[in-house]
């Protein structure tokens, strides 16, 4: 039996409009659900990216559902898989819309990573899958 796959990942942003402009407008992710003042969810390949306003979620339960409160303080991190050629295209697109690149380098195993920040200050990375999975770009 193999391990479980990631179905959803969460980041936190107080400005959901800025998050939507970035994740949908710049990265091209599809918005699948939005609740004003609370959260916005995006389809990201075979997973869902949840972006919560931390002020609305840290002390709130799931309402009628037994979802426990959750939240985070400070910047989070998300890594998106991309080939070397895709990283080149992402870098050009991000720079074209004025998004600063924090780092672009190769790890000791040769895999490339590109780092930037979303509007909420979360650390985003585009990385070649061979960073973690040998021989796969």
CATH code of domain 1-60: 3.10.180.10
CB count in 10 Å sphere of residue 113: 17
Q: What mean pLDDT is predicted for residues 105-117?
A: 96
| Prediction pTM value | 0.89
Give the pLDDT score at 55. Answer: 87
CATH code of domain 75-137: 3.10.180.10
What are the start and end residues of each CATH 3.10.180.10 domain in the chain? 1-60, 75-137
19-56, pLDDT tens digit by residue?
A: 999 999 999 999 999 999 999 999 999 999 999 999 88
Is pLDDT above 70 for 136?
no
Interior CA angle at 114 toward 108 and 115, to 5°?
110
**What is the C-alpha R_g of the chain?**
16
């Amino acid at each position: 039996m193999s391990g479980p796959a990631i179905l959803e990942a969460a980041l936190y942003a107080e400005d959901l409009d800025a998050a939507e402009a970035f994740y949908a407008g710049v990265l091209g992710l599809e918005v699948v659900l939005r609740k004003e003042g609370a959260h916005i969810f995006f389809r990201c390949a075979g997973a869902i990216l949840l972006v919560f306003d931390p002020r609305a979620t840290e002390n709130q339960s799931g309402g009628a559902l037994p979802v426990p409160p959750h939240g985070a303080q400070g910047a989070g991190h998300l890594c998106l898989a991309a080939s070397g050629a895709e990283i080149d295209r992402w870098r050009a697109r991000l720079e074209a819309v004025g998004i600063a690149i924090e780092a672009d380098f190769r790890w000791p195993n040769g895999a490339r990573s590109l780092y930037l920040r979303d509007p909420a200050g979360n650390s985003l990375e585009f990385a070649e899958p061979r960073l973690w999975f040998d021989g796969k770009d």
